[in-house]
A and B are shown apart, each in its own frame.
Chain A
């Protein structure tokens, strides 16, 4: 498969500059990821240096994955990109230790997302293999 510049439709990232509050730069800003198609992320916990360099760490994503994510957001559970439920019926394949980390203030995927997967796995395979930690005051990627 050839790799390089393509005509694939892309979404690009743009960071909004810091706001000044009483003359002081505050570590709170809305950042439009390339995932603006779906989400707004609030980065309360990012330090100033990390926020200033967000443009270096985020970039482009292809539209097909956004279409797939849109499908998942509409249905609420894992499907393939054609809408077929071919993954979750094989849940016995997740019978090994899995830990979930969840920012309580995640505004991309709400905390109930991992809570549901966590509950499904514990119902299927017992409580011993799975753990979930919800971290207060943190969001999606901060």
Chain B
């Protein structure tokens, strides 16, 4: 009896405090987003009145349209849409290729072990700890030799190389706990190296595929340093374009257009989180093995 009561009382005491503090932090965290969103729907005059936290008196989508296809970046005034698709054409192949290679690495490092597999894994893992800045110069040289400098292809290559360490880590640890008996059963059934991977392991890997996609997509999409170093002009990703947009505005700063462009740059990662989270299925493996 007495043990139940304090629990109830703490809900009305410490709990309320806790939620209050959490709410305060949530507000602090969300305020910039709120300001960005409201500003992006205001006209410049309204912004200049200085009331940052107020809702728009007159809602307008002109800043969004401007940001998408009219704002001047450098000398061209076509908005960010071209760079948005640059980013897409970098992210999609980079995520797919690095994910697939990571999955293969994980598969071989756990199910087709060879002498020295631990060292190989250690070396791949080591690449996760190499800071971006260190590889800038050598990478520039490599891209030059391969003649893919200043192109989205070059950026895809950079992100694939940089991503393999992480994707391998994810898949290796996942396949480490994948039952070996399943692999053996499939071998007895006549499945070869690739059949085993594509028919048995990969369909059971959805949770780790989702993790890998979220991780890689976010990292590649949000990358600025590689983008600004290895691209120029038309091949730049949206992060670089956003920076140029904000810096190249002459005369009056179009805060509303800048905010809209920043939102456009942020939307895809948000979408990935929302969609992928839905497919984050747990217990997919249950049933294959008793336990």
- Asked whether A and B interact, the reply is no
